[in-house]
Chains A and B, each alone.
Chain A
Amino acid sequence: MKIDPKIKEDLKDYLKKKLEEENEMVTIISPYKLEKEEMGLIYKKFPQYKDKKVKNIVKPEILGGIIIKQGTKIIDLSLKHKLQSLRKILYGNNR
C-alpha cells in the first residue's frame, strides 16, 4: 500500500513533537508516593521544574531521597546512590 507523502510528513512531525514533549517532561522517582507539600519543597529547591509537566513514579528500591529525570539528564539524590558512592570510597579506586 502506498502511503500519501503528506500523511507521512504529518506522522513524522507528530512523532517529533511527541518526542520533544517526552524530553521536556520531568519524572521524579521516589520510594513512596509524594505528597503535595513534599512536591512544594522540591519545587522550592528546583524552581526550573515548576512550570513543567511532572510525573511521579514510585520505586522502593532507591531506599530514600529522590531522582529527578528530564530527558537524558538526571539528578540522583537517592540514598541508594549515596550508599554506592560510599562503597566506592571505602573500597578505594585501587580495585
Chain B
Amino acid sequence: MGIIDSYIKDVEKELKSSKSRKVEEEVGEVVEVKDGVSILTGLNNVTYGEIVEFESGEKGFVIDLNEDSVGVVILGDFLKVKAGEMVKASGRQVSVPVTNEILGRIIDGLGRPIDGGDKIKTDKYYPVEKIAPGIVYRKPVSVPLQTGIKAIDALVPIGRGQRELIIGDRGTGKSTVVIDTILNQKGKDVICIYCAIGQKESNVAQVVDVFKKHKAMDYTVVVAATASDPVSLQYIAPYAATAIGEYFMDQGKDVLVVYDDLTKHAWAYRQMSLILRRPAGREAYPGDVFYLHSRLLERACRLDEKYGGGSLTALPIIETLEGDVSSYIPTNVISITDGQIYLDLDLFNNGIRPAINVGTSVSRVGSAAQAKAMKQVASKLKLDLAQYREMAAFSQFESELDEDTKKLINRGAKVTQVLKQKKHVPYDLATEVAVIWAAIKGYLDEVPVDRVEEFETSLIEDLSLRGKSLLASINKKKKIDEEDEKMLKKYVKENVEKMELESDKNHKS
C-alpha cells in the first residue's frame, strides 16, 4: 500500500503547486489537413519553427507563415488531427533533450527514446536549428580522425572537424565505411552519433546490433527516423543529431556525426515542400534544397581553444543512381563538403572492398590531418597507385612490356590488394602503417596476388604476438624511425619467407 500512499502524496503536491495560474495562450484552428502538414488560422503571434500543440495531443512545428494562415508540419500521426480542432502555440522552438546519459541510447528526431527505455531525463534542451559558428570561433583542421580503414587513412585522410562526403551507388558499402569508422573510435575520446534517415527499421536494428557486438554503444548515440516515420521526423533527424553533437562539442569533446543518408533527407524535404505548394525546381526539389544541406553541414567545425576546442566531424552519405554524380543532390553536397570518398560498383563487384575509387576520391584538408607515420608511407603509396593506373591500360599486352613497366604494374596490383580490408575489422594506426610499408618497400613483389591477403593476416598475427612493443611505439610516437623500420623489415621478411616455404611444401606434396 506504500506505493499508493506515495502516489497520492505526489498528486496532492502537484495539485497544490499548480495553483490557478492565468497564462495567456496563443491559439488557432485547423482549417485543412494534408499528408503530414496542416493549414491553420489564428496564431497571429507565432514565430517560424515554433512548436504548436494540437488538441488531440499531436505536435507540429511552424514552417510556413502566410498573410492569414499558418502552415504546420505534424510531428506524428497526422490522421489524428481533425479540421476545426484547436491548436495552441507552445512558445518553444523545436529542441532535443541533451545530457551525458544519452550515450548508448536510440532516439527519434525529437529526443524520444525508441529503444524501449525510459524517457531521457534532463532539464537541458538544445535547439534543433542553430546558426553555425562564425570564422572567429574556428581553427584549421589538424588532428586526424582515424577511420581504421587503410585506404581512407592513407589516401583520403579525414581530420577532426572536417566534412567528408561518402558517395556511391546502393550496395557499394557506404554504410559499412561509416560503421567501421565508428567502431574504430573506441577508446579514442570521440563521441559518435549515427543518424539514420529514411532507412529500413531492419537495417537500423542490424547496425545497432553491430555496435552492441563491438561494444561501440558506450560512446554512440543513434538518432533514427526510419522509412515508416512521418517525413517531418525524417526532416528534423539530422538537425537533431547535430544538436546533440554540439552539446558534446561545447564540452570540448571531439564528435563524429554520420548522416545515413542525405538523399532520403532531401526526398523528405521535397515531399513536405510539394505538399505546402512551394514552387518546385530541378528534379522537383524546392529552391532552398541547397541551403537545407549547407546549413546542416556548416555546423561541422573545429573550435579554437579559446572557445572550448571541441570539434564536430560530419560524414554525410549520398546515394547515387547508376554512378551519376552530376545529378542535383550529389553535386550540391559535393560542393558543400571538404572532399568525397567515391565508392565504385565495378570495384565492389571485382572484389576490391572497400570499393574506394582512389582516382576520384579526394580530401580537401589533405595531409594536414594525417599522422606523421602515415604520411611517411602514404606519399609513396599514392605514387605507386598513380603510376599503376596510368600503365594498367597496357597490361593486356604484358608480354611486350619492358621490365620497368612490368615492375610498376606488379607493384600496383599488390598495393591495390593491400588496400582491401574485411568489414568491421578496423586497424589501428601502427598496423595500417606496417602493412602499407611492406607493400611500398617491395616485399610483396614476389608474393602472388591471390596470397597477399594471407600474408597480411599472418603479418598482423605475428605483429600482435611478437611485435607488440613495435606497434605500441609506432602508435605512441606516430612516426616510424630507422629502428622501427629495421624491426618491421625483420617481421615482414620472416613472414614472406614463411609463405614461400609453405608454397614450396605444397608443390612437393
Does B309 interact with chain A (Cβ within 8 Å)?
no
Does B26 interact with chain A (Cβ within 8 Å)?
yes
Complex: A23 Cα to B22 Cα, angstroms: 20
Let me know if A94 and B23 touch, CB within 8 A.
no
Complex: A23 Cα to B45 Cα, angstroms: 13
Mark A67-95 against chain B: 1 for CB-CB distance below 8 A, else 0: 00101111111000010011001100110
Question: Which of B18, B28, B118 lies in contact with A85, CB distance below 8 A?
Answer: B18
Let me know if A71 and B118 touch, CB within 8 A.
no
Across-interface contacts of A94 in B (CB, < 8 A): 118-119
Closest to B113 in A: A94
Let me know if B22 and A74 touch, CB within 8 A.
no
Mark B20-33 against chain A: 1 for CB-CB distance below 8 A, else 0: 10111111100000
Closest to A85 in B: B18
Question: Which of A71, A76, A85 lies in contact with B44, CB distance below 8 A?
Answer: A71
Mark B212-245 against chain A: 1 for CB-CB distance below 8 A, else 0: 0000000000000000000000000000000000
User: Which chain A residues in 33-63 approach chain B with CB under 8 Å?
Assistant: 45-46
Let me know if A72 and B15 touch, CB within 8 A.
no
Complex: A16 Cα to B25 Cα, angstroms: 24
Interchain nearest-CB distance for B10 vs A (Å):
9
Across-interface contacts of B22 in A (CB, < 8 A): 45-46, 75, 77
Interchain nearest-CB distance for A59 vs B (Å):
13
Across-interface contacts of B24 in A (CB, < 8 A): 73-75
Does B390 interact with chain A (Cβ within 8 Å)?
no
Across-interface contacts of A85 in B (CB, < 8 A): 18
Across-interface contacts of A77 in B (CB, < 8 A): 20, 22
Closest to A45 in B: B22
Complex: A77 Cα to B21 Cα, angstroms: 8
Closest to A23 in B: B44
User: Which chain B residues in 2-55 approach chain A with CB under 8 Å?
Assistant: 11, 14-15, 18, 20, 22-28, 42-45
- Name the residue among A46, A76, A94 with the largest chain B CB count within 10 angstroms: A76
Complex: A84 Cα to B20 Cα, angstroms: 14
Let me know if B23 and A72 touch, CB within 8 A.
no
The size of the chain B interface, using a CB distance under 8 A, is 19
Question: Which of B11, B15, B27 lies in contact with A74, CB distance below 8 A?
Answer: B27
The verdict on A72 contacting B20 (CB below 8 Å), with A89-B11, A89-B14 known, is: no
Let me know if A86 and B15 touch, CB within 8 A.
yes
Interchain nearest-CB distance for A14 vs B (Å):
16
Across-interface contacts of B25 in A (CB, < 8 A): 73-76
Closest to A94 in B: B119
Interchain nearest-CB distance for B65 vs A (Å):
13
User: Which chain B residues in 76-119 approach chain A with CB under 8 Å?
Assistant: 88, 118-119
A to B contact number (C-beta, < 8 Å): 40
Complex: A13 Cα to B22 Cα, angstroms: 35
Closest to B29 in A: A72
Interface of A is mostly: mixed
Complex: A90 Cα to B15 Cα, angstroms: 11
Complex: A93 Cα to B112 Cα, angstroms: 11
The verdict on A73 contacting B11 (CB below 8 Å), with A93-B119, A94-B118, A94-B119 known, is: no
Complex: A82 Cα to B119 Cα, angstroms: 25
Let me know if B11 and A72 touch, CB within 8 A.
no
Across-interface contacts of B18 in A (CB, < 8 A): 85, 89
Interchain nearest-CB distance for A8 vs B (Å):
17
Complex: A35 Cα to B177 Cα, angstroms: 74
Closest to B43 in A: A72
Interchain nearest-CB distance for B220 vs A (Å):
24
Across-interface contacts of A69 in B (CB, < 8 A): 27
Closest to A76 in B: B25
Complex: A45 Cα to B20 Cα, angstroms: 13
Mark B110-144 against chain A: 1 for CB-CB distance below 8 A, else 0: 00000000110000000000000000000000000
Interchain nearest-CB distance for A16 vs B (Å):
12
Interchain nearest-CB distance for B64 vs A (Å):
17
Closest to B15 in A: A86
Let me know if A72 and B119 touch, CB within 8 A.
no
Across-interface contacts of A74 in B (CB, < 8 A): 24-27, 88
Complex: A69 Cα to B27 Cα, angstroms: 9
Mark B276-291 against chain A: 1 for CB-CB distance below 8 A, else 0: 0000000000000000
Complex: A46 Cα to B23 Cα, angstroms: 12
Let me know if A72 and B42 touch, CB within 8 A.
yes
Complex: A93 Cα to B111 Cα, angstroms: 13
Closest to A70 in B: B24
Across-interface contacts of B26 in A (CB, < 8 A): 72-74
Closest to B46 in A: A72
Interchain nearest-CB distance for B345 vs A (Å):
46
Let me know if A90 and B11 touch, CB within 8 A.
yes
Interchain nearest-CB distance for B509 vs A (Å):
69
Complex: A57 Cα to B43 Cα, angstroms: 21
Complex: A85 Cα to B15 Cα, angstroms: 10
Across-interface contacts of A93 in B (CB, < 8 A): 119
Across-interface contacts of B28 in A (CB, < 8 A): 72
Complex: A73 Cα to B24 Cα, angstroms: 6
Across-interface contacts of A72 in B (CB, < 8 A): 26-28, 42-45
Question: What 3 A-B pairs are tightest by C-beta distance, nearest first?
Answer: A72-B42, A72-B44, A74-B27
- Give me 13 A-to-B residue pairs in the complex whose CB atoms sit less than 8 angstroms apart, sorted by A's number: A23-B44, A45-B22, A46-B22, A72-B28, A72-B42, A73-B45, A74-B25, A75-B23, A77-B22, A86-B14, A86-B15, A89-B11, A94-B119
Given contacts A46-B22, A72-B26, A73-B45, 6 further A-B contacts (CB under 8 A): A71-B44, A72-B43, A72-B44, A89-B14, A90-B11, A94-B118
